[in-house]
Amino acid sequence: QLQLVESGGGLVQPGGSLRLSCVVSDSSMHLYKMAWFRRAPGREREGVSRISTTGQATDYADSVKGRFTISRDNAKNTVYLQMNNLKPEDTAIYYCAAAAILEDWTNTREYNYWGQGTQVTVSS
């Protein structure tokens, strides 16, 4: 069983940047598709971005495309989410997730493992 631990959240002003990290507990991370989700106040958890096992394929929510970049370093068992030009509507708890088999990356039920999340607050 994997453990996922997110870090890098914090309070930033609109237009600022943050880089989130998700560290996986063991060296099997390369077997998993990885994704970032977020839960904004009063809303359901939504998919932000996903990345294939090798990093060759990525997807982004329309709301973050062009501002966020997902990447992974399998040797370090770590997935990243670089967030630029942050907006107040990006305020949410951000979660890292892992899936062995994935058909619809936005479907939370397809993920086997979840981190506990890291808070991102964008406010002036």
Cross-strand pairs, 37: 47, 95
CB 62 within 8 A of CB 116: no
Distance CA 70, CA 60 (A): 9
Q: Tell me how crowded residue 12 is: count the other CB atoms within 10 A of its CB.
A: 18
Coil/strand/helix, residue 82:
strand
pLDDT digits (tens), the chain, 124 positions: 899 999 999 999 999 999 999 999 988 899 999 999 999 999 999 999 999 999 999 999 999 999 999 999 999 999 999 999 999 999 999 999 999 999 999 999 999 999 999 999 999 9
- What are the tens digits of pLDDT across the range 22-55? 999 988 899 999 999 999 999 999 999 999 999 9
Query: What is residue 9's predicted lDDT score, i.e. its pLDDT?
Result: 98
